[in-house]
Amino acid sequence: MSSSQTYSRLTEEVLEQHRQIHFYLDQIVAAVNGLREDAEDTEPMRTLAAQIESFRERLVEHQHGEEHGGLFAALLEELPEARQEVSALRLDHQRMVEILELARLHAQHGQPGEAHDLKVDLEGFLGTMREHERAEESLLARAMALARS
């Protein structure tokens, strides 16, 4: 496979996984927005905790694929000058999993009145994740352009 084909395949895989991750994340955001602070029932919070946990597992799998399945290695091969950016992406991975873990604990043990705090945690996560994916996608585009030239 030529390196340009390799980058096309990687780009397709990464974009598809990012789409799937966003799909799950949208469902979580909708669930968080549906929480009522004046509710007595803690069940919706606990359900949300389970949703966050399964999302976290998916995300860890995605990140593992990026770190060990070829994306980061391919980026470094084509763009050795992007070493720092790739290291920053790796650090983001840890940070994103930590934020999600905090949000999960919050949902697992929180009372309905804490729904707002949980929203803030998840908004922070969303911001980090969007920036992270944008950075990955733009590095990939750069690498692909080079591989084609």
Residue 117 or 131 with smaller CB distance to Fe ion: 131
Helix axes 115-148, 43-68, angle to 10 degrees: 20
The distance of closest approach from Cβ of residue 37 to Fe ion in the complex, given in angstroms and rounded to an integer, is 33
| Rounded least distance, CB 141 to Fe ion, Å | 14
Q: Cα separation of 48 and 111, whole Å?
A: 12
Q: Which stretches of the chain bind Fe ion, using CB under 5 A?
A: 66, 136
CB 104 → Fe ion: shortest distance, Å?
Answer: 19
Residue nearest to Fe ion (CB): 66
Pick between residue 78 and residue 136 the one whose CB is nearest to Fe ion: 136
Start-end of H helices in the chain: 3-33, 43-68, 71-78, 83-109, 115-148
Residue among 134 and 148 whose Cβ is closer to Fe ion:
134
Distance of alpha carbon 129 from alpha carbon 131, whole angstroms: 5
Return the number of the residue (101 or 117) whose C-beta is nearest Fe ion.
Answer: 101
At closest approach, how far in Å is the CB of 67 from Fe ion?
8
- How far apart are alpha carbons 149 and 133 in whole angstroms? 24
